[in-house]
Structure 1
């Protein structure tokens, strides 16, 4: 999503995403040193965060800032996070798939429970300055998704510019772009021999990792937590 927003910002012209690291184009609001990075970028700025709404700056509620909230099938999110943990040295070893899944389902992650995160932001879904989209929608119809995001942001791009956004945000294009694939992350933070930021870029990879019993256990916890949420997701 950061890559999509970067290319929409540059009207499809790819030189910005090809020459500036993603974390400088879309700095993280929860990182101490990223405020100064953000202030160097011209307005309107792109900012990144994993924060649940409960910890998100409440000044947002009185601002004109817009949020594109991207969520993903929690099974795939869990599997992605499992593989990521193997390389990111700040995090403890993920252990077995079973152990990691149970911690994920209990919400014992750095940013808390996936369920609480989604439900917290979902309470804001009626606000005109929040746009919800899933990873699965991006995978299924990237061009249509880019057009919707442009409309939400009030950015008018012609068909050629939208085509460029779509082309340059494909998984393979991003995987080959060292400014976007996080291969520039220092070795003292990430062991690139154990994991890759850009791994597969698919939906449904959880089926290759979870057993039938684990999948059934995940489903039970999922529906217990999502009962009463008035929104249907592509993976349901």
Structure 2
């Protein structure tokens, strides 16, 4: 009999919804996502994959629970703040079904580009927190994640993966369209737009405290300085990496191959320099300038 620990789940393929590649189980159940009924007090946390989603979720949960670390360890991240468009893949439950059973107020995770977010979120004037990360670090982190995540399609070699990223052929589509879509709508909808690099920077113009306070104000909360300091410490990369309720260590080995990479790998700004060749960096920069022309989002690839 095959050793259960050595078994790896079959990877999903991608199909498209309105031109955006998504995991096949999501596409098959798209009507449930599109018709999802948001509530007026729902909070949506939106990101392109591997842009600080879990970090943002943990900051939000701690703010909503007044910095109480024990309350935030009540369940793993994906149970506290379900993933809207995740559908039964092997042993996982549907994000929609989990959300329908949750009492209000709900915090909901999504990687959907803004044009695919269910209309009910906008009809109910829901708050959205969007976290964006620079493209070069995003693609590196996504590559490592797809290597260890056996739900996602096989990433293949790095050079091919980089090309697919640039052409919008990875799950959830073009990074460029994703970050620009929420940026364009941030003044007309209740969207707080955060930059990963601002959250990571210490000193100079911004620091993690400034960004946590922005989130707190957006959530219409007020916390004393010592609690804010505690939230910053609890959501540092080193602390979260050891927190089993935030580091996805509760996911089975058949889904996440931790011999390849941990879910929380480095969390650095500028790690792309260890992966891009000089020629890849040059070609990527040329393509980036073309794709981001006319956009004022102040991304930084180094601090």
Q: TM-score, normalised by structure 1?
A: 0.95
Distance 1:226 1:173, change over 3 A: same
Aligned to 2:282: 216
Aligned to 2:80: 25
Aligned to 2:149: 88
Deviates more, 1:66-75 or 1:26-35: 26-35
Judging by fraction of residues, say which structure has more strand.
2
Residue 95 of structure 1, CA deviation: 2.2
Contact 1:85 1:94 in 2 (8 A): yes
- Alpha-carbon separation, structure 2, partners of 1:158 and 1:128: 29
Deviates more, 1:55-64 or 1:101-110: 55-64
Deviation string 1:176-222 (CA, Å, 9 cap, x unpaired) is 00111011111221111112111011110000111111111110111
**Secondary structure class of the residue paired with 2:194:** strand
Residue 111 of structure 1, CA deviation: 0.3
Contact 1:107 1:114 in 2 (8 A): yes
Residue 40 of structure 1, CA deviation: 4.4
Residue 169 of structure 1, CA deviation: 0.3
Deviation string 1:139-165 (CA, Å, 9 cap, x unpaired) is 111111100111111111111221121
- Alpha-carbon separation, structure 2, partners of 1:77 and 1:196: 16
Partner residue of 2:106 out of 32, 35, 45: 45
Contact 1:17 1:180 in 2 (8 A): no
Distance 1:139 1:9, change over 3 A: same
Task: Please list every run of 5 or more consecutive structure 2 residues that lacks an aligned counterpart in the other structure.
Answer: 1-55, 88-93, 202-206
- Alpha-carbon separation, structure 2, partners of 1:152 and 1:83: 32
Aligned to 1:125: 186
Deviation string 1:76-106 (CA, Å, 9 cap, x unpaired) is 0000011111111122332222111001000
Judging by fraction of residues, say which structure has more helix.
1
Residue 128 of structure 1, CA deviation: 5.1
1:174-189 to 2 correspondences below 5 Å: 174-189=240-255
1:98-109 to 2 correspondences below 5 Å: 98-109=159-170
- Alpha-carbon separation, structure 2, partners of 1:39 and 1:163: 34
Residue 39 of structure 1, CA deviation: 4.0
Q: TM-score, normalised by structure 2?
A: 0.74
Deviates more, 1:126-135 or 1:103-112: 126-135
Task: Please list every run of 5 or more consecutive structure 1 residues that lacks an aligned counterpart in the other structure.
Answer: none
- Alpha-carbon separation, structure 2, partners of 1:129 and 1:150: 14
Is 2:67 the partner of 1:67? no
